[in-house]
Amino acid sequence: MAGRGPRDRTGRRGSGELESEVLAVLWAAQRPLTPSEVQARIGGGLAYNTVHTILKRLHDKGLVLREADGRRGVYRPAKSAAELTAQAMHDALGRGPDPVAALRQFVTGLSPEQERTLRDLLIGRAV
């Protein structure tokens, strides 16, 4: 459930967790949302200013798009969850000294279903 992610011993969210929660809310929405709509969907007593700050940070990182809606702005994800995950995987491969070894290690950790899906994608079968 949104707003109820794991916390550290002080009850605070981990680094980046709130950004992830905001993105999850935006991905689940069928339309762009205002900061107050995001705040309501996350719950947990977050201040409006906190949500607005997170949305601004995500916008600055290019992860959300802001659109004018009268006097207020609405936000929507710039990429789907799958696109963002794929980008993170590409970025991680680009940072390492041996991308082939990293891919080999990644593939050995796949479930049988994930392995079949990857094999189907590589030979050009629609999944």
Fold of 17-77: Arc Repressor Mutant, subunit A (1.10.10)
Q: pLDDT tier at 3 (50, 70, 90 boundaries)?
A: very low
pLDDT given for residue 16 in this prediction: 87
Average the pLDDT over 7-23 and give the result: 77
Determine contact, residues 84/94, Cβ cutoff 8 Å.
no
Average the pLDDT over 8-35 and give the result: 86
pLDDT given for residue 43 in this prediction: 87
Decide which of 12 and 90 is more confident: 90
Query: Cα dihedral sign for 6, 8, 14, 19?
Result: positive
H-assigned helices in the chain: 17-28, 35-42, 48-60, 81-95, 99-108, 112-122
pLDDT tens, residue by residue, 75-115: 999 999 999 999 999 999 999 999 999 999 999 999 999 99
Identity (one letter) of the amino acid at 112?
P
pLDDT tens, residue by residue, 43-72: 888 999 999 999 999 999 999 999 987 778
pTM to 2 decimal places: 0.75
Extents of the domains making up the chain: 17-77, 81-122
